[in-house]
Amino acid sequence: MDCYSPDPDAVVELANAYRNEPNYESYVALSSAIEAPRQKLFKRMNMATQGTEVIVSLRKDFLRLVKNHPELKPIDFDLLHLLKSWFNRGFLTIAEIDWNTPAVILEKLIEYEAVHFMSGWNDLKKRLGPNRRCYAFFHASLPNEPLIFVEVALVNGLAGSIEPLIDPDPQSEKGDADVDTAIFYSISNCQAGLAGISFGNFLIKQVVMELKKEFPELTQFSTLSPIPSFRRWLSQELDNKESTFLTQSNRSTLSLLSETDWSTSQEHCELLQPVLTKLCAHYIVNAKKANKPYDPVTRFHLGNGARVERLNWMGDKSTKGLSQSAGLLVNYFYAIDEVEKNHEAFVNQGTIAYSKDISKFLLAN
């Protein structure tokens, strides 16, 4: 493997030469020495028929292996470096997916849906029906493989429950008339080999522009998002006797979550709702991992400039929703004129933008 790695002695020698004489020639020589020979191999592979597809698949395998073989990290680093260059936004195209899209692509949506499971064609047809839109990014080297796709519901006002969005009542769907809000309710990355390359932020911004062109009357853009790590974090806090988030009183109330039928018991829900909603607000705003929000979906949307708008009790009653977030869903709101300001504040100062509704939970005793 060493023959495919940079020559350490050459790198040191040329680095010293560049330090002593930082001119064009020494810079080029150092850059050439730092580039691992395996990168040249990957570039040649990429020129072959279906070469890009093979390399994306190869990185998928590396990501699985590198967990137990840290010596492979330099190879994965080189693969990611190349893939970031090949899959930058300038090489991607956006496409709207509808019922007339080739079946080979429609099948991939069912396969890759990562947020709200689709059991088959009937579920997909509902998500591509009236007042629904779906957009995906594609790359010329993978023409039938979506890289990421987002599902959108056109509704009136903020949506608080996922069920009407993924399983709408046909009688309530009236085409594209009388809508003022676009709800992004599912974003799915499709290619495991492209992990670490950000597509979602570009896709959301592009879709907002596409929707504004088609529906000038749209005034609100928001998500209805899962909170995938809330229950995991809550379990850690329950195990932590010195938790600053929990009191003895709400520890007692939270013990009801161990009951298998808690979500169908009105009495249990009435006791749990105020406790869980308040804790979830604190979790989203205050729980941190490496100085960033603990929740991955929170990190993503805040990094894109959204604000935390509203928590929705029993927004997702599915088995997955109950196990991940006790049924809670959250709206992240994209106020077009505030997105850049929120993004800069979050990235530079770690400031989290949130609404008055969320602040009430944070201030509650």
For residues 98-112, one letter each, b for 16 or more C-beta atoms within 10 angstroms of the residue's C-beta and e for the rest, the string is: eeebeeebbebbeeb
Q: Is 265 a catalytic residue?
A: no
Q: State how far the alpha carbon of 251 is from the alpha carbons of 230, 258, 309, in Å.
A: 15, 12, 27
Catalytic annotation, pick one of 301, 323, 325, 359: 301
Q: Is 301 a catalytic residue?
A: yes
240, burial (CB in 10 Å: exposed 0-12, middle 13-18, buried 19+): exposed
| Three-state secondary structure call for residue 242 | coil
Give me the residue label for tokens 């050459």: 10
The kind and range of the H/E element at 148 are: strand 148-155
| Sign of the Cα pseudo-torsion (292, 293, 294, 295, in order) | negative
- How far is it, in rounded angstroms, from Cα 130 to Cα 169? 11
- How far is it, in rounded angstroms, from Cα 188 to Cα 249? 39
Catalytic annotation, pick one of 222, 225, 229, 325: 225
> Among 28, 25, 127, 35, which Cα is nearest to 78's?
35
CB 201 within 8 A of CB 148: no
Active site residues: 225, 301
